[in-house]
Structure 1
C-alpha cells in the first residue's frame, strides 16, 4: 500500500524499548568523552550535541546494550527510534539507525511515516543517508506500492526528503528501477543545494557499478542539465 501521511508519529508503548533505552542512556552516558564531543559536533556543523563516542567505541557499547534482548517487532523498533530521536546527543540517533538497519525485515509499509519523521527531524547526511539506503530502500523493495511515495518525496520541498528518494535505491544493484532513478535525477537536476547535487552523482555512480553504459548514455543525452559536481561524481569510476 502507498503511505502518504506526513504527521508526526505517536510514540507506542514497548517494554522492550523501555529496557533498551534504560541500558542505552546508562551505558553511553558513562562512556561520554567531553574532550571528543566538541570537535565531533563542529565536524557535523553543530547539527546536534555529541557525547564524544568514536564509532568503534559506540558500536561496542551498543552490543552490550542489546545483549540478551529479544528480537523486536515493528512497534518496538518504532518506540526505540522515536525515543532515541527525542534525546539531544547524536550518538543516540546513530544507535537507532543501526537498530533499524539490523531489524529492517520486521518493518512493514506502515513504518514509512516514521522513517519520514526521522529523515526530516534534525536532518543531516550522517543519519539521512543510512536511513535512505538501509531502511527506506528496504521498505520500498519489500512493497513496490511505496514507489508512489518516493515519486512524491522526490519533489518534496524538504531537500532531505528529496535526497532520500534519490538514494533509496543505492543498494538495489541489478534490481534498480533505472527509469525511475534517471527520472528522479532529472527532477532535481536544477536544484541549487550541494546535498542534492551530490546525491544525484552518488546515485548514478553507484548504479554505474552495475550498468556503466546506461549511466554513460544517460549523461551523454542529458549532461547539460546537470551541475558539474553531479557529473563528476557519476563518472568518477567509469570515465566519460
Structure 2
C-alpha cells in the first residue's frame, strides 16, 4: 500500500468536496469525505500494514496536502498503546506541528499527540517550548494536545502538577487577541470545568477580565451559576 493506492481507495464525492472547501476555507484539495468514511479505511490499513509501513504511509498521506489524506495520516497514528517504542510516532507528530494551518487537520494530529503525551508526560517539556512560538497554530497545539489533563476528577499529584503547569501556559495566552488562541483557552477551561469547578472559577476570577468576552463566556458555559451573595 503506497500513498497513491491509499488516496485512490479513499475515493471521494466532488459535490461534497466543493462544500468542504467552502467550509474549511483553506486552499488545499478536498475529496469530500466525512470522518467516519475515513475511519473505515484507516482501520483496515492499521490492521494490514506493518508498524514501519504504517508510519511511512502516515507521513506520505500528510505530505499530499489533501485534507482527507492528512486526516487519515493523523488517524493512523492515533493509538493509545504503541509498543515497544513510540518515540518515532511522537517525532512524526511534532514534525507536523510547524505545518499546521487549519483547525481540522491540527485537531486530528493533536489527538494523536494527546495519546503520546499521556504515554510519556515528560514530553510536556517539549510542548512547553511551543507557547512562545510565532506560529499561532503551534501555540494553539500546546493547549489542544494537553486536553487530557482536564479530564481527571481526582488527579494524582503528578497529574495535578501537570494541570497547574498547563494552566500557567493558558494564563500567558489570555491577552493574545487571536480568535483561535482565545478559543483554545476557552476550550481547555470549559473541559476542565466539568471536572474541577473551583479551579476553573479561580482562573476566570484572576484572568477572565483579560480574555475576549466570547472566550470568557464559553469557558464558563458549563459552570453552574454562582450563588447570589
1:56 equivalenced with 2:36 (yes/no): yes
How many Å separate the matches in 1 of 2:46 and 2:143?
35
How many Å separate the matches in 2 of 1:237 and 1:47?
35
2:59 to 82, 99, 103: 82
How many Å separate the matches in 2 of 1:67 and 1:57?
15
Aligned partners of 2:174 and 2:211 also within 8 Å: yes
Task: Give a deviation string over 1:30-84, Cα, whole Å, max 9, x none.
Answer: x322111111111110342111223333333444x527504x43x4343122100
Aligned partners of 1:219 and 1:231 also within 8 Å: yes
> Taking structure 1 as the reference length, what is the TM-score of the superposition?
0.80
How many Å separate the matches in 2 of 1:122 and 1:218?
28
* 1:105 Cα deviation from its structure 2 partner: 2.6
Aligned partners of 1:205 and 1:234 also within 8 Å: yes
Let me know the Cα RMSD of the aligned residues.
Answer: 2.3
* 1:239 Cα deviation from its structure 2 partner: 4.1
Task: Report the number of matched residues.
Answer: 216
Shift in CA distance, 77/160, structure 1 to aligned 2, threshold 3 Å: farther
What residue in structure 2 maps to residue 148 of structure 1?
125
Aligned partners of 1:104 and 1:135 also within 8 Å: no
Greater RCO (CA < 8 Å, at least 6 residues apart):
1
* 1:20 Cα deviation from its structure 2 partner: 5.2
